[in-house]
Structure 1
Amino acid sequence: MLHPLPLLALLPALLLGGQALAARDSLVVCTEASPEGFDLVQYTAATTADATAETVYERLVQFAPGSTRIVPALAESWEISADGRSYTFNLRRGVRFHQVPGFTLSREFNADDVLWSFQRQLDPEHPWHRLSPRGFPYAEAMGMAELIERIDRLDEHRVRFVLRHPEAPFLANLAMGFASIYSAEYAAQLLAAGKPAQLNSLPVGTGPFVFQRYAKDAQVRFVANPDYWAGAPRLRRLIFSITPDPNVRVQKIKAGDCQIAVYPRPTDISRLREDPNLRVLELDSLLVAYLAINTRHPPLDDVRVRQALNLAFDKASYLRAQYGEGNARPALAPYPPTLWGQNPELKAWPHDPQRARALLRKAGVPEGQKLSIWTRPGGGPTNPNPGIGAQMLQADLRAVGIDAEIRVYEWGELIKRAKAGEHDLVFMGWAGDNGDPDNFLTPNLSCAAAASGENLAGWCHERFDQLIREARRISEPERRAALYREALAIFHAQAPWIPLAYPKQFGLTRSNVRGFQLSPLGSNNFARVELD
């Protein structure tokens, strides 16, 4: 990646450690992993969203802090037509994009930026559409090109989205990261200069923080945006200290090397509550931990084999080892029970190795069948201790005659390879982006998501897909819920995942931190944080 300053410029600060960075006007956050990049629409990882959607970029609408309530952002207001197919947005005036070295942006945010940001993803003929090596995973998995009939520029400060059919979660979807607004002027300058890749290494948005530089797998640095339309952040600098090991994150916050540490291990929470210098934040978030079963790889394409894997894994022991007592609930469905549309008739797969072995033999799986288990180093909220979890699964599979090899990949590499379908079994998690059940189902389990690679199970079930498509087109929650109950019954019987847990979300702050709150959507925003 290209950076505005050479890596050598970072070395003195890196060598001095966090204490040197933690000035009164600086916030150092110990994060769990590196961002995949900074062109947000190419990626889906939460760590990437924290470093882009919550800092540099903004959307037409946003979620109120700590909730799933939709409030104005770059659009001051909006009107929805009676038939639910037309959304007209009145854009905020006086909003300026960030200024970065080597580029001069001459105008304020307007309708042209909205059109560029969406048409780039939706229109195959757009000059930037083919310049994304990863495509546009959210837009593709959610079928946005098929949903949006057109986007009209009514004038400089008004745009209208016209849909081909009503879409219940559409407004909430526009608050998600993939709907971030880019500068069309900056993109035009990059293209003219022959530097389109720089969009992924030097992002420009309207958000509360201006990107400064990135040292791969070490640090991301931002400075406050003094011209931010909602008021400049209270801190001048924001530094992400990339710290994959949760034990090291805890050590660093205890030493004062960072003021916020994300995703401590749940098993450490009771001990951390005893430290008078720390605050433990806790929230029932929209999180699910699961094991994706690659249905494109024989013998995993046989439903009996997938059911056998669900029976073989001792999930109760796994939950105790990973989360401790009371810090997670066992998962049955692709989304937690805090969201509506659950199917009360679903029953957890029991731990039954004998029945699992019988199913494997019926499916013709030989003794000693080879499979791979993929996981990551470090740990996050949906997989606090990846090594132990993978070893427990490996032992349970061995007990039913499957010889599983554990493969550990760095987070970015794991995501890239898993989306390419190279895995057999992969530990994964999902944080809801908008508070709607569809956000768990369409991006992760739809046929469109299987085609794009976002559906890590590669599972495409015609009836399931029909149900979730129909549910998106209905506004009445009760009718939508009935469709989701039927879809969840299909998911359970077909077993493309081993659902693991609905974890609680935890965070740590030093006692002098004010204004930080956990989001049920699993994101982390630091724009209103201040230090005493």
Structure 2
Amino acid sequence: MKRSISFRPTLLALVLATTFPVAHAAVPKDMLVIGKAADPQTLDPAVTIDNNDWTVTYPSYQRLVQYKTDGDKGSTDVEGDLASSWKASDDQKEWTFTLKDNAKFADGTPVTAEAVKLSFERLLKIGQGPAEAFPKDLKIDAPDEHTVKFTLSQPFAPFLYTLANDGASIINPAVLKEHAADDARGFLAQNTAGSGPFMLKSWQKGQQLVLVPNPHYPGNKPNFKRVSVKIIGESASRRLQLSRGDIDIADALPVDQLNALKQENKVNVAEYPSLRVTYLYLNNSKAPLNQAELRRAISWSTDYQGMVNGILSGNGKQMRGPIPEGMWGYDATAMQYNHDETKAKAEWDKVKSKPTSLTFLYSDNDPNWEPIALATQSSLNKLGINVKLEKLANATMRDRVGKGDYDIAIGNWSPDFADPYRFM
């Protein structure tokens, strides 16, 4: 019997689009084994903005609403998850949600309006990436056990959709109370405390994470008695284990591995578009990349189409403007850089403080990142810039980017919710 693999060509911003491949094999029906390139950085919904972490957090927590699915197809419409109903005031400044009365956390305690209130107040207090999806002055009230009221100072068009993203996960108040000294950040970085269909049982760093069903989940019971997320750093090893049937899903396979799987005739490869974008982060908060002329020189020197055709084998598209194609607000006429060494040299000549070297941070979280880094190194060398490549553990790279300790870094971004707000 043939196994199947799903492959998503995606879009790219400053650089170009990368792929988001997912591969499926055959193992015991009551067990799911996923092969991923790296450990999660953190499992705290109020901190993580990393797709790699969401493999664990999304199924371990619930949110007020969730995106509807039709078979294996997603949509941009939402439906109730913890909420049974909701309504907004005419001016869109007040949103009232009624909770279902059967939701329970993994320890058996009920999910109440107070849990929702405390989770959102913690999110806003911590104030990291996930909090940026919500108004800073958002007020949350719990007038009774099953009613939650949000008050906004002004209308916020994507508000309902923000409630479906990972940062809006509802956390067990008992855990927040027990670990109150640090707002439970230490505990939740390595454990889950939600009401989703699964919960984290164990985590052996560098080896695997194991999820098991939440016995108190009131929805449809999971088909799997155990989900194992194996950490397999080399993409070739993930592909081999997929071919052997040792894993069900192989994450982050490069195009050449996908092509090899096609040729083996053991795996059906399905291709479908994604809104995931790959960016180069140019650190404009410090010298030398605080010079616009230097950033423009880098943008003109980048061989976008060469990366799309060479690294991605055509499975991608260069970004045009800040909003990816397929999302409302996309502008097909927006300005777009292209590979133009003459324009790159003209901008370089305007740079007052010319750097002789820059650092480029990347990890093995995405197999396309290293060849993109090498291509960037080659392009900037023509301007006389020596690019030092630093390959780091993904968590270390994310930490340095968060602290602003880099010149150039690479990352992927998927929309947190069905609105271009976060891309802008």
Question: Given the two structures, how large is their TM-score scaled by the length of structure 2?
Answer: 0.88
Amino acid at match of 1:417: R
Cα displacement (A) at 1:399: 0.7
Are the counterparts in 2 of residues 187 and 199 from structure 1 also a CA contact under 8 Å? no
Q: 1-side partners of 2:216 and 2:350: how far apart?
A: 66
Match of 1:109 among 103, 111, 127: 111
Alignment partner of 1:220 is 2:247: no
Match of 1:68 among 39, 61, 76: 76
2:41 is matched with 36
Amino acid at match of 2:121: Q
What is the correspondence of 1:5-154 to structure 2 with a 5 Å cutoff? Answer: 23-53=28-58, 55-65=59-69, 66-99=74-107, 107-123=109-125, 135-139=127-131, 141-142=132-133, 144-146=135-137, 148=138, 150-154=139-143
Cα deviation, 1:185-244, whole Å, max 9, x if unaligned, reads 232233499976323322211111121000112101011123321121011000101123
Q: State the SS of the aligned residue for 1:371.
A: strand
Q: In 2 relative to 1, CA 192–167 (structure 1 residues): closer, same or farther, beyond 3 Å?
A: closer
Match of 2:387 among 381, 389, 404: 404
Q: 2-side partners of 1:294 and 1:392: how far apart?
A: 19
Cα deviation, 1:338-382, whole Å, max 9, x if unaligned, reads 11212333243232223312321222344x621111111252xxx
Q: State the SS of the aligned residue for 2:179.
A: helix
Q: In 2 relative to 1, CA 315–363 (structure 1 residues): closer, same or farther, beyond 3 Å?
A: same
Alignment partner of 1:370 is 2:361: no
1:203 is matched with 192
2:158 is matched with 169
Q: 2-side partners of 1:186 and 1:159: how far apart?
A: 20
Q: 1-side partners of 2:372 and 2:341: how far apart?
A: 18
Q: 1-side partners of 2:93 and 2:307: how far apart?
A: 46
Larger RCO (CA under 8 A, 6+ residues apart): 2
Considering fraction of residues, name the structure with more strand. Answer: 2
Q: 1-side partners of 2:338 and 2:141: how far apart?
A: 53
Q: State the SS of the aligned residue for 2:62.
A: coil
2:18 is matched with none
2:21 is matched with none
Alignment partner of 1:343 is 2:326: no
Q: State the SS of the aligned residue for 2:203.
A: strand
Q: 1-side partners of 2:133 and 2:262: how far apart?
A: 41
Match of 1:387 among 357, 370, 380: 370
Q: State the SS of the aligned residue for 2:136.
A: helix
1:493 is matched with none
Q: State the SS of the aligned residue for 1:144.
A: coil
Cα deviation, 1:280-307, whole Å, max 9, x if unaligned, reads 2432111111111111222311211111
Q: In 2 relative to 1, CA 324–192 (structure 1 residues): closer, same or farther, beyond 3 Å?
A: closer
What is the correspondence of 1:235-246 to structure 2 with a 5 Å cutoff? Answer: 235-246=224-235
Q: In 2 relative to 1, CA 192–370 (structure 1 residues): closer, same or farther, beyond 3 Å?
A: closer
Q: 2-side partners of 1:361 and 1:347: how far apart?
A: 22
Cα displacement (A) at 1:394: 0.8
Q: In 2 relative to 1, CA 253–393 (structure 1 residues): closer, same or farther, beyond 3 Å?
A: same
Alignment partner of 1:232 is 2:221: yes
1:328 is matched with 316
Are the counterparts in 2 of residues 80 and 86 from structure 1 also a CA contact under 8 Å? yes
Are the counterparts in 2 of residues 286 and 335 from structure 1 also a CA contact under 8 Å? no
Cα displacement (A) at 1:274: 4.0
Cα deviation, 1:274-333, whole Å, max 9, x if unaligned, reads 4443232432111111111111222311211111111111111111222102x1011122
Amino acid at match of 2:291: D
Are the counterparts in 2 of residues 377 and 410 from structure 1 also a CA contact under 8 Å? yes
Are the counterparts in 2 of residues 357 and 401 from structure 1 also a CA contact under 8 Å? no
Match of 1:298 among 287, 294, 315: 287
Q: State the SS of the aligned residue for 1:152.
A: strand
Amino acid at match of 2:123: Q
Supply the RMSD in Å over aligned alpha carbons.
Answer: 2.2
Cα displacement (A) at 1:251: 0.8
Amino acid at match of 2:30: D
Cα displacement (A) at 1:95: 1.4
Q: 2-side partners of 1:378 and 1:161: how far apart?
A: 37
Q: 2-side partners of 1:437 and 1:89: how far apart?
A: 24
Q: 2-side partners of 1:267 and 1:208: how far apart?
A: 35
Alignment partner of 1:355 is 2:343: yes
Amino acid at match of 1:94: N
Q: In 2 relative to 1, CA 276–304 (structure 1 residues): closer, same or farther, beyond 3 Å?
A: same
Unaligned runs of 5+ in 2: 1-25
Q: 2-side partners of 1:279 and 1:316: how far apart?
A: 28
Are the counterparts in 2 of residues 354 and 400 from structure 1 also a CA contact under 8 Å? no
1:261 is matched with 250
Q: 1-side partners of 2:183 and 2:379: how far apart?
A: 53
* Aligned length, in residue pairs: 395
Amino acid at match of 2:136: A
Question: Given the two structures, how large is their TM-score scaled by the length of structure 1?
Answer: 0.70
Considering fraction of residues, name the structure with more helix. Answer: 1
Percent identity, aligned pairs only, is 28
Amino acid at match of 2:100: R
Q: State the SS of the aligned residue for 1:397.
A: helix
Cα deviation, 1:368-414, whole Å, max 9, x if unaligned, reads 621111111252xxxx4222221111111111111211111111111
Amino acid at match of 1:59: R
Are the counterparts in 2 of residues 40 and 48 from structure 1 also a CA contact under 8 Å? no
Cα deviation, 1:469-507, whole Å, max 9, x if unaligned, reads xxxxxxxxxxxxxxxxxxxxxxxxxxxxxxxxxxxxxxx
